[in-house]
Amino acid sequence: MAATIFLSVALPQAQAQSRPQYAHLVMDYETGEVLSASNPDTPIFPASLTKVMTLYLLFDALDKGQLKLNQRLTVSRHAAGMVPSKLGLNPGETIAVQDLIGSLVTRSANDMAVVAAEALGGTEAKFAEMMTKRARELGMRRTTFRNASGLPNAQQKSTARDMATLARALIRDHGKYYHFFSSRSFQYQGRSYQSHNRLMLNYEGADGIKTGYIHASGFNLMSSAVRDGRRVIGVIFGGQTAQSRDKAMARLLDEGFARLRGVERMEMVSAPRKDDPLASATVAAQIGLKPALADLKTPQPAAVAAANENILGIGDADESSWGIQVGAFSQYDPANNAVNAAVRRLGETIANGRASVIPVTTGGATLFRARVIGITEDQARAACKLLESDKQSCQLVRPAA
């Protein structure tokens, strides 16, 4: 009887293990808005998507001066013993950091992931702790790392939402290194390795970033693509084949871009809800309008427009101040999220600047402009240069006449 019960439990578990869980999430990079998702918070094996976090920490180290691109790192016996995919260097050999990056992105080299881990953490286990800690700091609440490569480990899990969060953070925080993820091939010691990321090679606007596979995860993919100045991030876990996964991602990205185009159309025709005085008061407080306007029972487009003409798009800053605009939205919340993300990204570049969400009414419709105000011309130009290097929208806002 006991044996019968054991079999009835064990069989479904075996079946579950042979059929990886499917999950996906598509995100608007600029605002972080989720455009579509299924099982986005289900913990699944990330496989080689893990290497994106390994590279994120490597880029952190480069920015801090702890490593240099031409610095050579030594291959340990532990690193050389990793199973393929690998570069195949012997213990004691060295590799430049720049080549190591190429091998992780293009070859998905497990041995080089360990080389990076040991250079930064001393041991791979210690580095995995660093990875998990950084994941929490980035908001990846359901992710635990146990190694640097993504090779099978029962405790190493992540989610589609967390991996999309990582992709967004990578592009936002380390945009100057993101070009590595667009590499179609990697040359090392006379050999050429072609990218595993077939979707990047064939999908219009795709510019990275990483594939992954182990038997327990199925075929995973983290993707990013830009069209008409808008970037969409997509993550798929649990594809049945690489080909079906890529087709599914192409469809999901198409749908994401279509939804963004729909949002842009709505921005030209939709006005704020007339039964939401709280939203009106919040917006008024953000841009420093007089209390009388914030106290209105319902939004008054003409009054808002008049107030905006007085401040000329730069909030309550001195009229000699410059600003930048990082987007215009049909609703307040996405605008607020976008400008706050820009402020965090820009840091000291916009010292003394302030986040501002400015409603502008035209043709009976209201847009919410996401701006940083109260900065100098040099700060504004430097801020836009930095954001544009991250593939983010940025427009200069000149001083009032």
User: Can you spell out the DSSP letters for 282-351?
Assistant: HHHHHHT--HHHHT-SS--HHHHHHHHHHHTTSTTS-TT-EEEEEEEESSHHHHHHHHHHHHHHHGGGGT
Q: Residue 120 in 3-state DSSP?
A: helix
pLDDT value of residue 343: 87
CA neighbor of 330 nearest in space, from 359, 301, 305, 289: 359
CA distance 233 to 28: 6
CA distance 274 to 262: 22
Element (H, E) at 180: none
pLDDT value of residue 363: 56
- pTM, whole model, 2 decimals? 0.65
Rounded to the nearest integer, the mean pLDDT of the chain is: 82
pLDDT value of residue 119: 98
User: Cα dihedral sign for 241, 242, 247, 251?
Assistant: positive
8 Å CB contact between 230 and 30: yes
Give the helix ranges, DSSP H, for 72-217.
77-80, 97-102, 110-121, 124-137, 160-173, 198-202
pLDDT in tens, 242-271: 999 999 999 999 999 998 887 544 333 333
User: Cα dihedral sign for 197, 141, 126, 45?
Assistant: negative
Domains of the chain as residue ranges with CATH: 19-265 (3.40.710.10), 277-397 (3.30.70.1070)
Alpha carbon 300 to its chain centroid, in Å, reads: 37
Q: Residue 361 in 3-state DSSP?
A: strand
8 Å CB contact between 354 and 317: yes
End-to-end CA distance of the chain: 88
* pLDDT under 50: residue ranges of the chain: 1-17, 264-319, 401
> Whose structure tokens read 């579950």?
16
pLDDT value of residue 316: 37
Residues 6+ apart with CB under 8 A from 86: 107, 109, 110, 111, 112
CA distance 199 to 245: 9
Q: Which amino acid is at 240?
A: Q
Q: Which amino acid is at 250?
A: A
CA neighbor of 236 nearest in space, from 254, 218, 222, 250: 222
